[in-house]
Structure 1
Amino acid sequence: MRALTSGLGLPLALLLLTSEALAHHALGGATPISFGEGLLSGLAHPVIEVDHLAFVLAVGVLTAVSQGGLGLPVWFVVGTVTGCLLSAGGLAVQPAEWMVPASALLIGGYLASGRADTGSWHRWIFLAAGALHGLAYAQSIIGGENNSLQGYLLGFAVIQTIVAWSAMLAAYWFWRGDRLYANARVFGGVLAGVGLTALYQAAVAGLVPVL
């Protein structure tokens, strides 16, 4: 139990700390108009949205569980960039606010189930999930200049890669042997809870009219 709680300390602390920043965008909600502002917005976005951050952490943990390499989380990052580009090109999938928490609930539930496999199909799941995340979060950049979009995509890709790789390496380092699978199940339960809570909040927001 002691090893379990110590191993889960980092991801749980990140989720708790970022939950307070959920409603605050790096630019105060303004649309980026320069490359630098776009880069800042892209770097901050996965960190200020707790359900998206939880999912990116889960990408790293699932990569560790399936014994994947550094290339596996990149498929998710490529998916997010692709989703952003599709959104910038005019593609809209509704309701966007359900996509990220629903994917967090599904991946969290999968991790919590404790199923072990080689992960040969994970790249396609990561690619599809990434596209949905990109479609959901690209709205903050739509309407900006082309150079701000480039900055946003660069920042968005870099920070997600760093977070996913860090989660994967931390899982390998702190959760060695059988603890990796046991702790991953607990983390999956936490992620599923985050996704379920975010879905509930989205449902309440959709039912209650804005005053």
Structure 2
Amino acid sequence: MTTKPFALSLLVAAAVGLPTAALAHAGHGEASGFLSGLAHPVGGLDHVLAMVMVGVLAWQLGGRALWMVPLAFVGVMAVGGALGFAGIGVPAVEVGIALSIVVLGAVVALGARAPLAALMALVGFFAIFHGYAHGAEMPENAGGLAYGLGFLIATAALHLAGLGLGYALGRVGDRTNPIAVRAVGGLTALAGLGIVTGLV
């Protein structure tokens, strides 16, 4: 019976998404410790949508992409976090984050096929912006490392939620062309457009 994994994935997505009524970038140096880092990625709709889409995309690609695409995001996000912590400027961070939702959602919606390295580069490019937003808020004390570890773990958890969502939605239709997965990608891209335009 496929309804149990589907329902479970929807519940996970709802639980993650409910507290995310606003963007999660309050300012620099305002967070501290592991729990703040763990909470930050799930505290903003922009981060949640993009990171879940990375997991859905990885599921859609299958094979080595199941772990390589999320790993590329988390690894490059750590670099972006270091840039933010060091105060090295990255232009248009909020725009880059919002566009990541549009682009990743569209890639999933279109079922785009490209070399794995190209898709890893794509998610890595957007991970810079997400990492920078987190790193700019990292405290300049011993809690900074714990905060960084927290946001990396939370990001990986959101990727896993995306993998689970992809799996559950893929069971609804044809595995080779799961319409439900593509529909979720399209809805995510539309939500990203809403964030870009300030409607969401």
1:161 alignment partner AA: A
**1:121 aligned to 2:118?**
yes
CA contact (8 A) 1:51 1:101 kept: yes
Quick one: structure 1 residues 106 and 15, their matched pair in 2 at CA, closer, same or farther if it must change by over 3 Å? farther
Quick one: structure 1 residues 138 and 29, their matched pair in 2 at CA, closer, same or farther if it must change by over 3 Å? closer
Give the aligned partner of residue 45 of structure 2: 50
Q: For 1:186 and 1:15, how far apart are their aligned partners in 2?
A: 19
Give the aligned partner of residue 80 of structure 1: 77
Number of aligned pairs?
Answer: 192
Quick one: structure 1 residues 12 and 166, their matched pair in 2 at CA, closer, same or farther if it must change by over 3 Å? closer
For structure 1, list consecutive stretches of 5 or more residues without a partner in the other structure.
205-211
For structure 2, list consecutive stretches of 5 or more residues without a partner in the other structure.
none
Q: For 2:98 and 2:23, how far apart are their aligned partners in 1?
A: 15
Q: Percent identity?
A: 28
CA contact (8 A) 1:114 1:181 kept: no
1:164 alignment partner AA: H
Q: For 1:121 and 1:24, how far apart are their aligned partners in 2?
A: 28
TM-score (norm 2): 0.81
Shift of 1:49: 0.7
Encode CA deviations 1:48-89: one digit per residue, 9 max, x unaligned.
110110111000000000002224301101111110101222
CA contact (8 A) 2:46 2:98 kept: yes
Give the aligned partner of residue 101 of structure 1: 98
Superposed structure 1 runs of 4+ greater than 4 Å apart? 27-30
Quick one: structure 1 residues 194 and 59, their matched pair in 2 at CA, closer, same or farther if it must change by over 3 Å? same
Shift of 1:28: 11
